[in-house]
Amino acid sequence: MVKMRGYNSADEQNPCFVSSYDDFERERQFEIDIRLSKGLEVKRMLEDGNCLFRAVTDQVYGDSEMYDLARQMCVDYMEKERDHFSQFITEGFTSYCKRKRRDKVYGNNVEIQALSEMYNRPILIYTYSTEPINIGSYNTDTPPIQLSYHHGNHYNSLVNPRRSTIGAGLGFSCLQGVSRCG
């Protein structure tokens, strides 16, 4: 595939795949480490360019198939906050947003920041480590959205099977996670 000049990130052009035994072993070891240290399970998302939005909606709505709603809301939010987000875009902001609205176009750090702000939830990203990278620091009781990042361009959802966070960040006072509502 030909890389496009001016794109914010080259990961939009690189397919995601495990290419060797070492890659497979690294994935397996990460899953063991994250389970033992944090109690989190890797919930695999389809590798179709929508994985970031799938992983986020898996945690926020409990349904990874709502990815297009999150994608559209994310870009709407970025356009509303254009003065802020345009500083981080290396191409024309309008064309960037238009492309990001399309199905199967990868999300990246700019969209992660927007999603974090939209849902008022920090996003923790684990990249083959049990220590996360934090995106957003908010004065909130809502639990973080936890993602894992693989192969330089793929996101999965990290879930705690003993504590659901579905519904947190949607603006309903009782929704700190489904398990605490009701």
Taking each continuous run of H as one helix and of E as one strand, the counts in the chain are: 6, 5
Which residue of the set 11, 22, 48, 68 is catalytic? 48
- What integer pLDDT is reported at residue 99 of this predicted model? 97
In sequence order, what DSSP letters do the residues of 91-105 get, joined into one string? S-HHHHHHHHTSTTP
Catalytic residue, candidates 16, 22, 51, 150: 51
- Digitized pLDDT (tens) for each residue of the chain, 182 residues in all: 333 445 555 546 555 555 677 889 999 999 999 999 999 999 999 999 999 999 999 999 999 999 999 999 999 999 999 999 999 999 999 999 999 999 999 999 999 999 999 998 899 999 999 999 876 666 777 889 999 999 999 999 999 998 777 777 676 544 444 433 33
3-state secondary structure of 4: coil
Distance CA 138, CA 116 (A): 9
Phi and psi angles of residue 19, each rounded to the nearest 5 degrees, phi first:
-105, -15
Res 145: pLDDT:
94
Is 51 considered catalytic here? Answer: yes
Helix H segments across 14-171? Answer: 21-38, 51-60, 67-80, 82-85, 93-100, 109-119
Q: Which domains are assigned to the chain?
A: 19-180 (3.90.70.80)
- The greatest distance separating any two alpha carbons of the chain, rounded to the nearest whole angstrom, comes to 52
Are 156 and 142 in contact, with CB atoms under 8 Å apart?
no
Question: Is residue 42 a contact partner of residue 55, using CB atoms and an 8 Å limit?
Answer: no
pLDDT at position 1 is 32
Given a contact cutoff of 8 angstroms between Cβ atoms, the answer to whether 115 and 125 are in contact is no
Q: In the annotation, is 154 catalytic?
A: yes
Torsion of CA 106, 71, 172, 55, to 10 degrees: -30
Residue 37 gets the label, from left (phi > 0), alpha (psi -120 to 50) or beta, of alpha
Q: What is the reported pLDDT for 51?
A: 98
Enter the pTM of the model. Answer: 0.83
Using only the alpha carbons of the chain, give its radius of gyration.
16
Q: Cα–Cα distance between 105 and 66 in angstroms, integer? A: 15
Amino acid letter at 12? E
Q: Which of 58, 74, 97, 154 is labelled catalytic?
A: 154
Whether 151 sits among the annotated catalytic residues: the reply is no
